[in-house]
Chain A
Amino acid sequence: MLSVQNLSIQQQKHFLIRNLSLQVNAGEVLTLMGASGVGKSTLLSWLIGALPAAFVASGQAYLNQRPIDQLPTEQRQIGILFQDDLLFPHLNVGGNLGFALPAKIKGAERKLQIEAALAQAGLTGFYRRDPSSLSGGQRARVSVLRALLAQPQALLLDEPFARLDTELRQQFRQFVFTQIAALKIPAILVTHDHTDSPEGGCILRLEEQRYAR
């Protein structure tokens, strides 16, 4: 379970987010919507501990009852997907996934797990491929696999479907939600398109803060 309590984020004297509390249970996807600039992506960057220095935040975040808001990014166990796939160009597909796989999985088992992940994403035989030789949809799927192979306790999705065309979008969305449900982790999705939200999922609309201190 991922929960946020009394979060406020301000930039100089302007409040971007004020006293926001939310809770996402395991296996569920919370959809965050709202106009550009209301702080959706800022909220995500605060959650992973990468809030730009121009912002000041207060509030707490808990992941499975563990306070995480003071931890460095690498200890939060939260994965993130951006609009761009951000596959590491100097590594091949297998290398990208191997980078994510925890070190406790050793030897031949590593390759097996990576191959298995590729297979269930319909990417059998892509282990040695260079990321630049993949199609947009394939790259997107590899980036999801990469985020999930690190065994995160929560997943944040920052408009990951925005760059894909309608048909691909539908397939990819389904793929992502299936993965999240299978792993039983909480997820937060930021989007401009309400059809991106999974069926029966909760939608939270952020509104612009007009109160200046």
Chain B
Amino acid sequence: MVAALRQLSSRMLTANNSAKRTPHNSLDWMLWGVAWLGVLVILGLPLLGLIPALNDGLSANNWLLLWADSQTLPALKLTLFSAGISTIWALWLACSLVFLFYPSRAWQRLQRQLPVFLALPHAAFAIGLVLLLAPSGWLVRLIAPFFAWTAPPNWITTQDPYALSLTLALVLKETWFLLWILTSLLNQEWLLKQSLVAQSLGYGRWQMGWQILFPQLLKRLAWPLLAVFAYGLSVVDMALIIGPSTPPTLAVLAWQWFTDPDPSQQLKAQSLALLLIGLLLMGAALGYLAYLVLSKRLATPTGHRHKLRTYPVLKLALSSLLSLPVWLALFLLLLWSLAGSWFFPQIIPDDFSLNAWHRAAFEPFSTTIFIASCCVFIALPLTLLWLEWGSKQQAWLYLSLIIPALPFTAAQYQVALLLNFDGNLAAVIWSHLAWVLPYMLLTLAGAYRNFDERFVLTAKTLTYSHWQACIYIKWPMLIRPILAACAVGFAVSVAQYLPTLFIGGGRIETVTTEAVSLSAGGNRASLAVQAVLQALLPLLAFVLATSLSQWLGRNHQGLK
């Protein structure tokens, strides 16, 4: 007989007898400790290293030196221009693509290309663009017959003094990055529903996009946009390849000064690194201001419906101008790496040969694979432990993606010097992890959040511990996002230029450092080989991750 009794008494409960059981046993505590230790060593130490850097950088004397240098002001203008304009344009382009195409078939086509564009390292892309746009590049060769040119015209297209080509390269690359972020936002149902409602009220897609979706997307894009701006501020590899040289951008200038044996130059570099952080904060403040103004303007709609149009020209222009250069750049890299001789103004090489491949140095290639694999093998367990046992307050983990790479790497270098730990592979791996770990966390966090915790609960009711539930149920179920995160981590490590050179003391050569240093020389075939190798590695990682997850999921249709 079931006896059920329910008393409604007004007796007050005392708070102290209502303790919730503590979820931690000793194993949980240990895992928590490992997660924190790893994260602190990788991300905490460099952040600590920023403190003395801030101290040195703030000295008034350094600022006077910096101000007195004739290169500072023009470099500042170039940096502000290339970073600012590229961020704004990338935002406009990425949003335009979404409003024009989502969720049409053309959108699916763009989506399919996305992994390739994301995986393509900045340096390889910039080299490909140079091969495309330089006065002796492929585009000029295309039109050369019409003007009967036998020598490259005396133009300045790439490495132009206005940083236009650098800006273009940044716009193209960052548009795809923002599009990737937007893709994950668009999977959320509310966006689709809102756009349906707005359309049923008589607004066209384009207008609805900018008036209804844009302000909401902007809020969620705040951090990615800041990361894009920070990247533009402190990019060195791309700027060396395709950017202006006298004067260069601030980041390149700072890098040159940091490596200068003259101590007064190094002092200037310290302040310059700080200036980059200042510019970032300024950009963030301006961006926020612009957001406020925009929200205020959109707060009182006029009710005016734009004429419904389909924008065929804009659609064609955007979809081709954004993807064609990337494919051409990749194609030219491959073509150049196989070219025996290729004189101006031939559109295809005069003859093909594998000479450049035979002559190529493959040590950087294997070093890169080693470093990137180590990074993933360290970062993956840490990522999983952190997501499961670490703190839920994790915004600070992404600081390395927001702080311009130059001051951050300088801080890493300070720490490495202090610990007498620089110029070797382990140090380079440690420095790469500061970007690999946050990116892997970022890629996995979404899938992790969306995981149905009742699966873990079910495993526990079947008498398994929390740790066992993760090992047997949760992580195997998340194998697809985990593999994707591994590929991202690998690609991030491959693309690192500044930390490899800085922390490696110039002694560790990867495909990235090799490609950048060859870009200053004249041998285009050798350059193309290293660039192809650099582009190949992340692509291989993504292909491997995708096929592995398909193979693992072949008998389990329910795996997401």
> A residues near B, CB below 8 A?
8, 10, 18-25, 28, 30, 48-51, 53, 55-58, 69-80, 82, 84, 86-92, 99-100, 102, 130-133, 146-147, 150, 152, 201-202, 204, 206, 211, 213
Contacts and interface: CB of A to CB of B under 8 A. Distances in A.
Contact of B473 (A19, A20, A88, A147): A88
B479 interface: yes
Given A8-B13, A99-B462, A202 B4 contact: yes
Contacts of B8: 18-19
Contact of B2 (A23, A48, A49, A92): A23
Nearest to A155: B461
11 contacts: A49-B21, A74-B465, A82-B454, A86-B455, A86-B458, A88-B476, A89-B477, A90-B476, A90-B556, A91-B556, A204-B4
Contacts, number: 139
Contact of A22 (B5, B10, B466): B5
Contacts of A150: 461-463
3 tightest CB-CB pairs across the interface, nearest first?
Answer: A89-B558, A58-B18, A132-B557
Interface of B: 1-15, 17-18, 20-21, 23, 25, 452, 454-455, 457-466, 472-473, 476-477, 479, 552, 555-560
A213 B558 CA distance: 46
Given A86-B455, A150-B462, 20 more contacts: A19-B9, A22-B4, A23-B2, A24-B2, A28-B2, A48-B457, A48-B461, A50-B457, A56-B20, A58-B13, A69-B21, A72-B23, A73-B457, A74-B461, A74-B466, A77-B463, A82-B458, A84-B452, A90-B556, A132-B557
Contact of B477 (A8, A19, A25, A88): A88
Most chain B beta-carbon contacts within 10 A, residue among A58, A82, A88: A88
Contact of A56 (B5, B18, B556): B18
Nearest to B472: A99
A102 B463 contact: yes
Contacts of B472: 99
A104 B20 CA distance: 32
Nearest to B476: A90
A25 B2 contact: yes
B416 to A, nearest CB: 40
A147 B555 CA distance: 23
Given A22-B4, A22-B5, A73-B457, A132 B558 contact: yes
A133 B557 contact: yes
A21 B463 contact: no
Given A72-B25, A73-B461, A21 B559 contact: no
B18 A57 contact: yes
A74 B464 CA distance: 5
Main secondary structure on B side of the interface with A: loop
A26 to B, nearest CB: 11
Nearest to B6: A20
A133 B3 CA distance: 42
Residue with the highest number of chain B CB atoms closer than 10 Å, among A10, A57, A78, A90: A90
B60 to A, nearest CB: 50
Contacts of B452: 84, 86
A197 B473 CA distance: 32
A201 B462 CA distance: 26
A22 B2 CA distance: 8
Contacts of B461: 48, 73-74, 76, 78-80, 147, 150, 152
Nearest to B458: A86
A102 B463 CA distance: 8
Contacts of B454: 82, 84, 86
Contacts of A202: 2, 4
Contacts of A50: 457, 460
Contact of B558 (A20, A79, A131): A131
A90 B452 CA distance: 14
Given A19-B7, A21-B5, A75 B556 contact: no
Contacts of B464: 74, 99
Contacts of B17: 58
Identify which of A73, A76, A86, A204 gathers the most chain B CB atoms within 10 Å of its CB. A73
A8 B18 contact: yes
B463 A75 contact: yes
A24 B2 CA distance: 5
A79 B4 contact: no
Contacts of A132: 556-558
B3 A23 contact: yes
Contacts of A56: 15, 18, 20
Contacts of B23: 72
A111 B17 CA distance: 46
A30 B457 CA distance: 22
Contacts of A71: 21
Contacts of A131: 556, 558
B4 to A, nearest CB: 5
Contacts of A99: 459, 462, 464, 472-473
